[in-house]
Amino acid sequence: MINFKQKELVRNFFKEMKEKFPETEFVSLTEGPENPADLWINITALEDEDKEEELIAFASDKTSDILLDYGYYITIMTRRNSENSGGMKYQEIFA
């Protein structure tokens, strides 16, 4: 179950990511399969491999900061297909 602080961190993280990579789309937020306290932000994969590498580097820096500052493990998972991803949808996180 996601708490208020995690929801706030996910919102801020995705907002910053969307500003830098406007072509990304939020798919869902899911718990990690090995540890339900871990959160995966599922996003659409980028077509440009160089941009995707930039996105991964950006996300790595941001998620490391979140882990060190708040103790929450959050990561991104890129998806080519957004169907049947499960988890919390956009309106549940950003409403």
Residue 82 in this model has a pLDDT that exceeds 70 = no
Rounded to 10°, the helix 49-70/4-20 angle is: 150
- Tens of pLDDT along 33-76? 888 889 999 998 888 889 999 999 999 999 999 999 999 999 99
State the Cα–Cα distance between residues 28 and 2, nearest whole angstrom: 13
pLDDT at 85 exceeding the cut of 70: no
Q: In the chain, what are the domain boundaries?
A: 4-81
Task: Identify the residue with better confidence: 13 or 84.
Answer: 13
- Whether 84 shows a pLDDT value over 60: the answer reads no
The answer for residues whose C-beta is within 8 angstroms of residue 3's C-beta and 6 or more apart is none
Question: Helices (DSSP H) in the chain: which residue ranges?
Answer: 4-20, 49-70, 90-94
- For the domain bounded by 4-81, which CATH number is listed? 3.30.300
What is the reported pLDDT for 16?
95
